[in-house]
Structure 1
Amino acid sequence: MRDGKPMSMKRRCQQLLDALAKLWRAEPVFGIFQRADLAKGRLVLLASFAITLAISVSMGIFSYQNLRATRDANRWEKHTYLVIMELDNLLSAAKDAESGQRGFLITGNLKYLAPYHQAIGNVNIHLDALHRLTRDNPDQQQRLGRIEPVLRSKLALLDENIRLRSTRGFEAAREHTMRDLGRQTMDELHGQVGQAVHQEKRLLRERALLERTYSARNFSYLLGANVVGVLLLCILYLFLWREFSRRIHNERDLIANRDLLELQNHELRMAGEERQEMEALIGKFSDLYDFAPVGYFNLDRCGVIRAVNLTGASFLGVGRSQLLGRPLDVFLTAQSRPAFLEFLERVFENQGEKVSGEVVFLQEVFAQVEGVASVARDDCRVAIFDISDLKRSEQERSRLEDQLHQSQKMESVGRLAGGVAHDFNNMLSVILGQANLALMDLPPGAPLYTALDEIRKAAERSADLTRQLLAFARRQPVAPKVLDLNRTIEGMLTMLKRILGENLQLNWQPGDGVWPVRIDPSQVDQILANLCSNARDALGETGTICIATQNREIDAAYSAHSAELVPGDYVRLSVSDNGSGMDRELLAHIFEPFFTTKGAGKGTGLGLATVFGAVKQNNGSINVYSEPGVGTTFSIYLPRHREGQQAPPQGPGEPPAEKGQETVLVVEDEKAVLSMAQQILSRQGYTVLAANSPGEALRLAREHPKEIALLVTDVVMPEMSGRDLAAQLVRDNPKLKLLFMSGYTSDIITHHGVLDEGTHFLQKPFSRGELAAKVREVLDRR
């Protein structure tokens, strides 16, 4: 202090600068020498750096060249090892081939030829490797040219021995072997390979010596560089020690002035920190208001915005300055504005109490609003919370629950329909079979012929109904094939036009490059026939039906709106019409079996249920879009098949089944079905062994003196399954052919209704012709 007044900060800084200037002006001679020493030190450092850099670059160049030469020598040394190893492997493969053919010559067992053929393949592999490895060595290439004919000659002798053993027997092969040509050839091969290995070992010694020479030279370079580096480090250390000692002495003179400078800096820092704390506190409260996760608004009694935070402005998508003076309700949907005005009235009526409500902003943004009026009741504070994600989650959960309930309902109906069809098929098999047998015994003009024919037709229609039930239940047996959907549909167009009639127009729009799918072609016929029949009934007298295909890539976003579609590649098959359409209530029931809007006697209600079952059986999905008075579109998504494509078979129908004389064992626990099948096959000329149980079938098979050609068995029986029975009989008779039959496909012989490859299956009920044709087909199959 001076004169009782505190010294100002500006004056203290000026005193500090004056003291430093005085110190600099003092002892000018010392300052000159100091600058001269500094220049000399810089010169020494620069010279040391230049020398070090030159030595380092030189040593680096020499070391790099020597390292490259060492690496090349090492690579050629490894190359020589590879050539020697391949020569040894080639000789070993020739010996393995000779051992394999010797085992076949002795035993005649073809399994000994497996190692022989494997050794022949290894010989070719090693020869190719040797040609590639010796491209740099003309001598070895020439020697390899002499080895290969000898090797081929040896392999030809082995092939000739195998051929003689296979065609003329052991003695002929032995006589050919005793000529001693194989041993001579093998000795010559040993000699040629040994010379090649000897030459490669000589190269190996030369290249190893070269590598050691380069390694020793490289060590000398590195040792010299290290010695020079150590000397330079010692010189630099002495110079730096002298320089640091001088600087430490000079720094002691500055310590006295540091305390004064630190004291003044501390006073300045304290004042600055107090100011920063005040600014930070103000900014913190401002940030808490602006960046809160809730939009805060200050509104007057009419809902006009007086103030808003940044979150509220961002929520409305408008700058804060542009919101002031605008009513908040202009950002709401028309349906939410009355609710918002009623919310404001309640806020001002309930002074000091929080009032809540829900509104919807533009772009379908759902929000919860909470407000409190001020004491003067001329404005209010309103907080807005975005609850759009919560609302969408609730809607999505409701939609998924509806889909789950519908899927569970369809699955339950499917299981019931499948069980009914299974029991009904056994009865229909007897009715249809006995009617066919009776018709064979009656002339067409007989009084009972017409009645029996009507019984047969009614049974066939009933069988069609059970097949549709099984298709819906996904228990109908199918034989899927990889096919081109466009080509399959084009083959159906003529049949579909006959279904639709002349007044309706069929528009076919095939997609370009449609991916292959794996599905039973008969199911494609079934799907399109049912969809086109429904479209025809919806159109009436005139209209257009459009069938289209295209490739679709389903991503996760699209899959989220359809629980049955997983992301992946699909082929979309759509059938559209411009008919009467359907409302939302009708769409909820269209896939239920026996549900129909047609009059009595005009529909079974199984058409769309059959389509649904066929699509699900092939891991597909079906969607329906319809509007009353506009039309309907069915979209079927079938998974893309990524293996080879197989076109659906095209050709005429099968000819009538031929008769036969083979012995057939029929096993069926239903006596009526067993009797009917026995009569049909007996009339076809077969010798039929009928068994009512698996145990009886095993007994008949043991006691029958002749060979049984075919087993026709039910799948599900009391004692054991048809597959287990077939396995026991095949062990005793490997040539026995198998034909399974059932009212529905059991998991014993199928996977989810899809027949295993090579499994023959006959669906109940079957007619006389179907049974006879299937038996003949299985017997004639190689």
Structure 2
Amino acid sequence: MATRLKGKDDAWLAQPPSRLALPLLVGGALLSAGLVLFAAGEWAPAAGFAAAVLVIAALLSWFRHLYPPAPADSEAMPDWTVARAAADASNVAIAVTDRTGRLLCASDLFGEWFAGYPTPPALIADPAATEKLTAAARKAWKDGEAAVRGMAHGALRLDVDICRTGRAEDYLLWRFTPVRQPSALDDVHRLLTGEAGRQLGEAGVMAVMIGGEGRIRAANGAFLLRAVGRIDANATGRDFAQHMRVDDKGRLFLAREQSGGLPLRLLQVPLRRATQAGGGQDGPMLLLLIDEPGGGGGTSALSYIETLLSLLPFGLAMADRDGRVLFLNNAFGRAVGLNPGEKPSYPGDLVVREDQAAVADAVRRFAVGPQMSGDIAVRMRDQPDEPTALSLAGVRGLGEAAVLLSLKDNSEESKLKRQVAQATKMQAIGQLAGGVAHDFNNILTAIIGHCDLMLMRHTPGDSDYDDIQQIKSNSNRAAGLTRQLLAFSRQQTLRPQVLQLPDIVADVSNLLKRLLGESVKLEVSHGRNLGAVRADPGQLEQVIVNLAVNARDAMPQGGTLNIQTYAVPAARVREMRSQIMPAGDYTALRVSDTGLGIAPEVLAKIFEPFFTTKELGKGTGLGLSTVYGIVKQSGGYIFAESELGRGASFVIYLPVYQGADAHQPAKPQAPVRRSETWGTGTVLLVEDEDMVRAVAERALVRQGYKVLTASDGEQGLEVLAGDERIDLLISDVVMPNMDGPAMVARARRTHPDLPVLFMSGYAEEQLRKSIDIANVAFLPKPFSVSQLAEAARDALALRPPAAE
């Protein structure tokens, strides 16, 4: 960078070097040529020497143009962006000033702490602080560095370090570092939540830090375990007093331990710095809680025994010689069905009236006689149908206590037994229902088939036409009943699709409005971000309809039916702490009504088959059992909630489908227009039920097929091995001797391309593993003549074309 020089007479010296070079070079060359001419006396050497000087000068000028000299250090401008970026990456604020006191560079943090980017040392309004910084700056210019410690700036305390820097040491670098102020609260918090707090807990000391308002700020694991129930619980912000209780003797206890806890000694340690800041004795405190087994010298041996007995997991109680109850622990209260805090006067108050005399007599005998023990069978007041063993033992040396009574808390065990028994019963009934449905489907197939054959010979208006039509209608109604049995036993055939629950609710809403009538109002609401589910849409519609009809019947005077769909993430499932439903993402469907509600004794039976509260002839008792079966077969869960007089709610949880096509719900396919069912060819019909085989044979013959029959798989193979060419094999699945799948497996060895149509009264899903054979179709029973003809036509279409 060129520097401007003062003085008018020397202005030409300020010209750039490139402008002065030409006159100087020409003058030098002429002077050199004159000297050579004077010395040699000839023009040629003089002219050559001048030309050489000019060439050398030109080469040097060209070289200087290609490689210009680097600027002097004093002319280079410093780049402060690197220093600023380095400062912003740390928690240190920096500023740079020059000798004139100008602020040349400052970090972003400096601007946050000192608004407006003031120039040091005039940073804050405090004159004393400004004077200290000014003196430190002078010292830094003189000695190279200086420091100011603990400068107060609002809530901050800063250490200021000043040093002289730069190549010419003509800058001052100011560094401002925050100082962490010692705090008793922080120290105590680290103590309680760290290793020291754990060691205090192992020594039996519960430690809590509370604020001046009495709320917990920190606690060690020992306090959390006993006061809250979990060592990893978060008690911050809770009222400390709510976790404590004081008895009538002024002793301090943990509220969660109720009557079975040990008395505690409380030590208070004021945190002085926080107390002084608060201006009194209401500041934060450290509280230490220690058990006092002796109860401060006022607890008797009996009280100490009571405390120990309260910790046992099985029910124990103590009675005096007159039979009055002195003490009972929580497990005993739960076993006999007492409310928390309730205490009976006599043991006889806990049993049914018929057993009260026996209990009172047993207590008197064990109280006054020798120390002995024994059991008596009693029936509790809240469980009169389940005899329970009450153990009694005479005790001595415990003051007023004379008899120790023990009773095992088997409520959870009894509940588990009932659940296992219920599951076993439901499974047995399901197997029975599946077998009954299979046999019944064979009978219905024959009835419906013969009705179809007779209807082909009669026309509307004939005397028998209406009767035959009525028989067929009742048979179809019976077929629906068998489908309900299969749904309950989870053996029905499902056609699952990826779908959204709101779409299913929308499809069935118009039907529901007609079913509910004018007195019941339908309300529908849908949540956001619902995951897709995989289920049979037709079966889900049946679930909603069944629940809606039950809700309508529960609101004879009218009311509101509310249908909701909402998302249930895995975190919420874990919060529910369900022992049945595993954690995962679900889409829920809730059907609620404002009806009469369901009694508790009925609520446990509502999903059982054939259980109904309706009048005789107004319900089969299969509605809710069908709902239960469909939901379980779809991989979901259903729960019922109700209170008498407050309506009922049924909540269905279906797992969110996680497949690749989860975000592409299946679109309903348009019905395929079927062609003519008339056909040709030879059909082998294998069926062990004579009535089904007869009606199927007649139906196929009427459609133009030649039919060969067999009563089991072995006969079918014999017919297949004959000279007759078989175009289609129709077979029952379950048959004596050799069943259908085994026969087809043998037949495919000699007839690999033979199309097969299986028919069965069992559901396709139940037989899927056994009939999982290529080029096989399935027809569920019962079926009509037209359905059999259509299935035969479609199965023949599976046959590959003959080679030409």
TM-score, reference length from structure 2: 0.50
Please state whether the residue corresponding to 2:639 is helix, strand or coil. Answer: strand
Please state whether the residue corresponding to 2:779 is helix, strand or coil. Answer: strand
Which residue type is aligned with residue 437 of structure 2? A
Q: Supply the distance in 2 between the matched residues of 1:344 and 1:455 (Cα, whole angstroms).
A: 72
Q: For residues 69-112 of structure 1, give each alpha carbon's deviation from its aligned partner in whole angstroms, at most 9, with x where no partner exists.
A: xxxxxxxxxxxxxxxxxxxxxxxxxxxxxxxxxxxxxxxxxxxx
2:777 to 736, 740, 760: 760
1:449 to 449, 454, 465: 465
Percent identity reads 38
Q: Supply the distance in 1 between the matched residues of 2:516 and 2:773 (Cα, whole angstroms).
A: 36
Please state whether the residue corresponding to 1:700 is helix, strand or coil. Answer: helix
Q: Supply the distance in 2 between the matched residues of 1:312 and 1:635 (Cα, whole angstroms).
A: 36
Other-structure match for 1:480: 496
Residue pairs, 1:231-242, within 5 angstroms: none
The alignment of Structure 1 onto Structure 2 pairs a total of residues equal to: 456
Structure-2 change in CA distance of 1:522 and 1:732 (3 Å) = farther
Q: Supply the distance in 2 between the matched residues of 1:483 and 1:611 (Cα, whole angstroms).
A: 18
Deviation at 1:688, TM superposition (A): 2.6
Residue pairs, 1:328-727, within 5 angstroms: 356-358=327-329, 395-554=411-570, 558=574, 562-643=578-659, 644-645=661-662, 647-651=665-669, 653=671, 655=673, 658-663=676-681, 664-708=683-727, 710-727=728-745
Other-structure match for 2:791: 774
The reply to whether residue 733 of structure 1 matches residue 679 of structure 2 is no
Deviation at 1:303, TM superposition (A): 6.6
Which residue type is aligned with residue 432 of structure 2? L
1:305·1:327 contact (CA, 8 Å) conserved in 2?
Answer: no
2:430·2:489 contact (CA, 8 Å) conserved in 1?
Answer: yes
Please state whether the residue corresponding to 1:546 is helix, strand or coil. Answer: strand
Q: Supply the distance in 1 between the matched residues of 2:261 and 2:722 (Cα, whole angstroms).
A: 90
2:491·2:766 contact (CA, 8 Å) conserved in 1?
Answer: no
Deviation at 1:555, TM superposition (A): 5.9
Structure-2 change in CA distance of 1:546 and 1:356 (3 Å) = closer
Deviation at 1:312, TM superposition (A): 10
Task: Provide the aligned C-alpha RMSD in A.
Answer: 4.7
2:598·2:643 contact (CA, 8 Å) conserved in 1?
Answer: yes
Other-structure match for 1:160: none
1:306·1:325 contact (CA, 8 Å) conserved in 2?
Answer: no
Other-structure match for 1:305: 249
Structure-2 change in CA distance of 1:532 and 1:357 (3 Å) = closer
Gaps of 5+ in 1: 1-282, 296-301, 337-342, 368-379, 384-389
Q: Supply the distance in 2 between the matched residues of 1:668 and 1:543 (Cα, whole angstroms).
A: 53
Deviation at 1:653, TM superposition (A): 4.6
Q: Supply the distance in 1 between the matched residues of 2:577 and 2:457 (Cα, whole angstroms).
A: 61
Structure-2 change in CA distance of 1:522 and 1:319 (3 Å) = farther
Structure-2 change in CA distance of 1:683 and 1:312 (3 Å) = closer
Richer in strand (by share) = 2
Deviation at 1:467, TM superposition (A): 1.0
Please state whether the residue corresponding to 2:585 is helix, strand or coil. Answer: strand
Deviation at 1:288, TM superposition (A): 11
Q: Supply the distance in 2 between the matched residues of 1:675 and 1:474 (Cα, whole angstroms).
A: 31
Q: Supply the distance in 2 between the matched residues of 1:326 and 1:504 (Cα, whole angstroms).
A: 67
Richer in helix (by share) = 1
Deviation at 1:515, TM superposition (A): 1.6
Deviation at 1:773, TM superposition (A): 2.7
Deviation at 1:576, TM superposition (A): 1.1
Which residue type is aligned with residue 542 of structure 1? G
Q: Supply the distance in 2 between the matched residues of 1:596 and 1:733 (Cα, whole angstroms).
A: 53
Q: For residues 441-460 of structure 1, give each alpha carbon's deviation from its aligned partner in whole angstroms, at most 9, with x where no partner exists.
A: 11222222121111111111
Larger RCO (alpha carbons 8 Å, 6+ apart): 1
Q: Supply the distance in 2 between the matched residues of 1:711 and 1:418 (Cα, whole angstroms).
A: 26
Other-structure match for 2:391: none
Q: For residues 294-344 of structure 1, give each alpha carbon's deviation from its aligned partner in whole angstroms, at most 9, with x where no partner exists.
A: 99xxxxxx9743667999999589873799999999xx9xxx9xxxxxx99
Which residue type is aligned with residue 480 of structure 1? P
Structure-2 change in CA distance of 1:324 and 1:781 (3 Å) = farther
Q: For residues 184-236 of structure 1, give each alpha carbon's deviation from its aligned partner in whole angstroms, at most 9, with x where no partner exists.
A: xxxxxxxxxxxxxxxxxxxxxxxxxxxxxxxxxxxxxxxxxxxxxxxxxxxxx
Residue pairs, 1:213-228, within 5 angstroms: none
Which residue type is aligned with residue 733 of structure 1? H
Deviation at 1:364, TM superposition (A): 6.2
1:625·1:634 contact (CA, 8 Å) conserved in 2?
Answer: yes
Please state whether the residue corresponding to 1:489 is helix, strand or coil. Answer: helix
Q: For residues 651-698 of structure 1, give each alpha carbon's deviation from its aligned partner in whole angstroms, at most 9, with x where no partner exists.
A: 555546622424332211111101111122222233333222222222
Structure-2 change in CA distance of 1:382 and 1:430 (3 Å) = same
Deviation at 1:631, TM superposition (A): 0.8
1:723·1:748 contact (CA, 8 Å) conserved in 2?
Answer: no
Q: Supply the distance in 1 between the matched residues of 2:486 and 2:717 (Cα, whole angstroms).
A: 32
Q: Supply the distance in 1 between the matched residues of 2:554 and 2:708 (Cα, whole angstroms).
A: 53
Please state whether the residue corresponding to 2:464 is helix, strand or coil. Answer: helix
Structure-2 change in CA distance of 1:309 and 1:694 (3 Å) = closer
Structure-2 change in CA distance of 1:689 and 1:608 (3 Å) = same
TM-score, reference length from structure 1: 0.51
Other-structure match for 1:320: 266
